[in-house]
């Protein structure tokens, strides 16, 4: 009976269009998300032809990966007038987890404080800070960490020059490098994720809820602890898990610091290990041990993501206010407090936008070779963007890959969003999760999976074989990794299209495809374009699969791979400025895209979250 009913429902719901949409979505996710990862997990359990935990036991018992005593490094150590802040090496795996943990904690603190200041107080210059606080979101892969490494260099770093030689504030020079350097670089780039999530939650709190608590006598910290904090905690959790995952899989900071300072400690991270093994992959073999390493961080990231997602879904409070006013509770603090707020935000913004400012300076001057301060402006590096054939090729490659990826991701993402939001077919919640999960899949894990699957016998010699040509794989990797952006943007659009608008169309005789194209599509086209733009921007600056799969063929490299090579020091001294010039290009693309979204499409670009 129930089965009969299910079949009847299915027959009705699965008209031709829904069937095609569902099929495309599942097929795409199966081939380019599930199969590679499943194969990778499988490989990690293979030892001498049998199934075994050998590689995991190997990893977890080897001090190189997990060590409970320091294997070297310096922290708060002062020697010959230099304070060393490097961190200690506890093995590659523990290092990655520790770094991700501290980055998450620091980002949470900065993000919550900034969000509270912006969301609850009134002070001059607030509008400007709203923009400035988001500067770190402008992608300057590799170069940002390179610049931080350069600024905190005890020999001629600008910060040390200012604080020690010029102002005599500090008794010793700071040497921030190694794991601490990675933590600093990542914290400065990722705190806006938490800031935005918490601010959105704060703005979503019905003011009368807080007013009621105050009315009952709760004030200050008590109000914060009992009412405000619990209400924005889901937003904080959503942002925090994203930061944690981003930190785990980040390659920009380890490579950037290596380029700036060549301290091996900044490379003792899982992401870097996986990345460097791609050099051997050129020979066509890939160590199962690396697959096991990728599996571990894949597992941690996905499990963390799913747990937090569940928690956030459970605690997403519908804030319905009937009547009353809904203007956020903004307080005007005393002059002293206002000055303090402005100064602390100014400090944060200055520190956090150093990489972006530095990138522009690096790209337009001789700073890369001049020492503490640049001495001469030059347009030669920006010029290479059009004159140097290697550089232009990388730019063209990235544009092509990203463009193609956007087409795919929009088709698949819009289909998924529509099926999930509107059709009652079995397995649609699976589809929903699969479309979101790429946020949690570390790019390097995906890259390993792609390599293993598409260089296997099944695909050898085909157009998907990465050893032959990695271009298509990068396109698919980009579209999988940015799928959540598009899906989410389209879902947001669909949420605003009342179901009755479609029903009235069908009631008047239009079948489902006609209804989709004449009623739904025109109403959500803005959201689709918004999602497409966002996906394009983030594809252009994609790092993990670009620098791994991209390494497999010289004439197929995308922008980010090119930058990583320059920063890493493969190219000639001073050429890091070319990398900076490419970052300036990326930032320009991003700013243009956001301007289009905000002012033309009137879309509030949804950034990141669970």
Partner 1 sequence: MVKVELKGVTKRFGDVLAAGDVSLQIEDGEFFTFLGPSGCGKTTTMRMIAGLEYPDEGRVFFDGEDVTNLPSFRRNTGMVFQNYALWPHMKVFENVAYGLRIRKVDGAGLKKRVDDALELVHLGGMGDRFPSQLSGGQQQRVALARVMVINPSVLLLDEPLSNLDAKLRVEMREEIKELQRELGITTIYVTHDQEEAMAVSDRVAIQNHGVIRQVGTPSEIYSFPRDVFIATFIGRGAILEGIASLSDGGPRVDLGGFTVDGVDTASAVGDGDRAACVMRPESFSVTEPGEPSNRLDGVVEWSSFIGPYREVKFNVGGTTLLVDVPPETETPVGGSLTVYIPVRRTIVLPWDEVK
Contact assessment for residue 191 and residue 197, using Cβ atoms and an 8 Å cutoff = no
Q: Does 508 bind partner 1 (CB under 8 A)?
A: yes
- Residue (269 or 519) nearer to partner 1, CB: 519
Choose the stretch contacting partner 1; rule: CB under 8 A; options: 40-48, 76-84, 241-249, 516-524: 516-524
CB of 151 to partner 1, least distance (A): 52
CB of 468 to partner 1, least distance (A): 47
Contact assessment for residue 386 and residue 460, using Cβ atoms and an 8 Å cutoff = no
Choose the stretch contacting partner 1; rule: CB under 8 A; options: 5-13, 225-233, 325-333, 562-570: 5-13
Calpha distance 577→360 (Å, rounded)? 9
CB of 424 to partner 1, least distance (A): 10
Q: Could you give the dihedral angle defined by the CA atoms of residues 113, 114, 119 and 120, in that order, rounded to the nearest 10 degrees?
A: 50
CB of 513 to partner 1, least distance (A): 11
Q: What are phi and psi of 85, to 5 degrees?
A: -120, 90
Among 509, 573, 599, 602, interactor with partner 1 by CB under 8 A: 509
- Residue (70 or 507) nearer to partner 1, CB: 507
- Residue (280 or 511) nearer to partner 1, CB: 511
- Residue (63 or 426) nearer to partner 1, CB: 426
Q: Does 325 bind partner 1 (CB under 8 A)?
A: no
Compute and round to an integer the Cα radius of gyration of the chain.
Answer: 25
Contact assessment for residue 243 and residue 198, using Cβ atoms and an 8 Å cutoff = no
Contact assessment for residue 124 and residue 341, using Cβ atoms and an 8 Å cutoff = no
Calpha distance 240→50 (Å, rounded)? 39
Q: Does 5 bind partner 1 (CB under 8 A)?
A: yes
Residue 107 has which token pair? 């980002």
- Residue (280 or 498) nearer to partner 1, CB: 498
Q: Does 511 bind partner 1 (CB under 8 A)?
A: yes
- Residue (60 or 421) nearer to partner 1, CB: 421
Q: Which residues contact 372 (CB under 8 A, 6 or more apart)?
A: 156, 157, 158, 161
Q: What are phi and psi of 190, to 5 degrees?
A: -100, -10
Choose the stretch contacting partner 1; rule: CB under 8 A; options: 2-10, 210-218, 350-358, 585-593: 2-10
Query: Please, what sign has the CA dihedral across residues 133, 410, 500, 2?
Result: negative
Choose the stretch contacting partner 1; rule: CB under 8 A; options: 109-117, 272-280, 435-443, 519-527: 519-527
Q: Does 20 bind partner 1 (CB under 8 A)?
A: no
Q: Does 243 bind partner 1 (CB under 8 A)?
A: no
Contact assessment for residue 528 and residue 493, using Cβ atoms and an 8 Å cutoff = yes
Measured between alpha carbons, how far is residue 471 from residues 57, 532, 579 in Å? Answer: 35, 20, 21
Surface-to-core class of residue 555, CB atoms within 10 Å of its CB (0-12 exposed, 13-18 middle, 19+ buried): exposed
Q: What are phi and psi of 73, to 5 degrees?
A: 120, 170
CB of 429 to partner 1, least distance (A): 16
CB of 22 to partner 1, least distance (A): 18
Give per-residue burial for 158-177: e unless 16+ CB within 10 Å, then b: bbbbebbeeeeeeebbbbbb
Spatial CA neighbour of 245 closest among 196, 294, 293, 298: 298
- Residue (320 or 508) nearer to partner 1, CB: 508
- Residue (312 or 494) nearer to partner 1, CB: 494
State the first-to-last Cα distance of the chain, in angstroms, to the nearest integer.
Answer: 38
Calpha distance 539→353 (Å, rounded)? 22
Surface-to-core class of residue 8, CB atoms within 10 Å of its CB (0-12 exposed, 13-18 middle, 19+ buried): exposed
Q: What are phi and psi of 78, to 5 degrees?
A: -105, 125
Per-residue mark of binding to partner 1, 441-480 (x: CB under 8 A)? ----------------------------------------
| Chain residues 488-507 in contact with partner 1, contact rule CB under 8 A | 498, 500-501, 503-507
Count, residues near partner 1 per rule CB under 8 A: 21
CB of 397 to partner 1, least distance (A): 38
Strand bridging mode 73-79 / 50-51:
unpaired
CB of 21 to partner 1, least distance (A): 17
- Residue (77 or 424) nearer to partner 1, CB: 424
Calpha distance 389→400 (Å, rounded)? 16
- Residue (321 or 504) nearer to partner 1, CB: 504
Instruction: Collapse the DSSP code of 58 into the 3-class scheme (helix H, G, I; strand E, B; otherwise coil) and give the result.
Output: helix
Residue 294 has which token pair? 């990728």
Q: Does 514 bind partner 1 (CB under 8 A)?
A: yes
CB of 318 to partner 1, least distance (A): 19
CB of 12 to partner 1, least distance (A): 6
| Chain residues 521-540 in contact with partner 1, contact rule CB under 8 A | 522-523
Q: Does 12 bind partner 1 (CB under 8 A)?
A: yes
Among 510, 571, 596, 605, interactor with partner 1 by CB under 8 A: 510
Q: Does 72 bind partner 1 (CB under 8 A)?
A: no
- Residue (169 or 508) nearer to partner 1, CB: 508
- Residue (125 or 522) nearer to partner 1, CB: 522
- Which residues bind to partner 1, rule: CB under 8 A? 5, 8-9, 12, 498, 500-501, 503-511, 514, 518-519, 522-523
């Amino acid at each position: 009976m129930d089965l009969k009913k299910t079949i009847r429902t299915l027959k009705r719901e699965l008209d031709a269009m829904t069937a095609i949409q569902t099929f495309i979505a599942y097929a795409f996710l199966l081939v380019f998300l599930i199969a590679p990862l499943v194969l990778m997990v499988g490989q990690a359990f293979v030892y001498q032809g049998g199934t075994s935990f050998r590689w995991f036991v190997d990893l977890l018992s080897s001090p190189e990966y997990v060590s409970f005593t320091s294997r070297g490094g310096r922290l708060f150590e002062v020697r010959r007038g230099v304070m060393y802040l490097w961190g200690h090496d506890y093995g590659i795996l523990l290092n990655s987890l520790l770094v991700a943990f501290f980055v998450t904690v620091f980002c949470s603190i900065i993000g919550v404080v900034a969000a509270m200041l912006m969301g609850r107080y009134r002070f001059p210059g607030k509008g400007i800070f709203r923009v400035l606080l988001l500067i770190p979101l402008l992608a300057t892969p590799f170069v940002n960490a390179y610049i931080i490494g350069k600024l905190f260099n005890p020999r001629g770093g600008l910060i040390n020059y200012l604080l020690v030689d010029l102002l005599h504030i500090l008794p010793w020079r700071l040497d921030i490098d190694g794991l601490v350097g990675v933590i600093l670089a990542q914290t400065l780039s990722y705190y806006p994720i938490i800031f935005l999530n918490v601010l959105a939650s704060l703005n979503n709190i019905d003011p009368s809820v807080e007013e009621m608590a105050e009315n009952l006598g709760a004030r200050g910290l008590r109000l914060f602890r009992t009412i405000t904090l619990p209400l924005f905690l889901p937003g904080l959790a959503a942002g925090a898990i994203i930061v944690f995952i981003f930190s785990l899989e980040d390659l920009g900071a380890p490579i950037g610091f290596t380029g700036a300072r060549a301290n091996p400690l900044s490379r003792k991270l899982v992401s870097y290990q996986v990345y460097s093994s791609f050099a051997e992959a050129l020979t066509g073999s890939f160590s199962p041990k690396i697959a096991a390493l990728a599996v571990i961080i894949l597992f941690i990231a996905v499990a963390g993501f799913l747990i937090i997602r569940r928690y956030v879904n459970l605690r997403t409070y519908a804030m319905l206010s009937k009547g009353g006013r809904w203007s956020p509770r903004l307080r005007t603090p005393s002059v002293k407090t206002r000055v303090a707020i402005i100064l602390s935000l100014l400090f944060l913004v200055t520190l956090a936008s150093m990489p972006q400012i530095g990138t522009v300076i690096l790209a337009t001057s001789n700073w890369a070779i001049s020492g503490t301060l640049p001495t001469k402006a030059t347009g030669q590096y920006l010029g290479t963007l059009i004159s140097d054939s290697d550089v232009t090729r990388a730019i063209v490659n990235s544009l092509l890959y990203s463009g193609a990826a956007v087409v795919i991701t929009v088709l698949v993402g819009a289909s998924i969003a529509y099926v999930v939001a509107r059709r009652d077919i079995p397995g649609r919640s699976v589809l929903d999760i699969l479309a979101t999960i790429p946020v949690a899949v570390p790019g390097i894990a995906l890259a390993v999976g792609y390599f293993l699957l598409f260089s296997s016998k099944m695909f050898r010699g085909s157009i998907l074989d990465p050893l032959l040509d990695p271009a298509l794989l990068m396109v698919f990797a980009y579209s999988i990794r940015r799928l959540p952006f598009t899906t989410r943007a389209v879902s947001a659009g669909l949420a605003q299209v009342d179901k009755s608008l479609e029903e009235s169309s069908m009631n008047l005789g239009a079948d489902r495809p006609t209804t989709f194209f004449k009623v739904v599509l025109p109403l959500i086209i803005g959201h689709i374009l918004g999602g497409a733009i966002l996906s394009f921007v983030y594809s252009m600056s994609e790092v993990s699969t670009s620098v791994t799969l991209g390494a497999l063929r010289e004439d197929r490299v995308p922008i980010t791979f090119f930058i990583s090579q320059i920063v890493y020091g493969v190219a000639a001294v001073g050429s890091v400025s070319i990398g900076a010039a490419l970052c300036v290009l990326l930032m320009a693309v991003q700013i243009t895209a956001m301007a289009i979204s905000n002012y033309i499409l009137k879309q509030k670009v949804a950034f990141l979250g669970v």
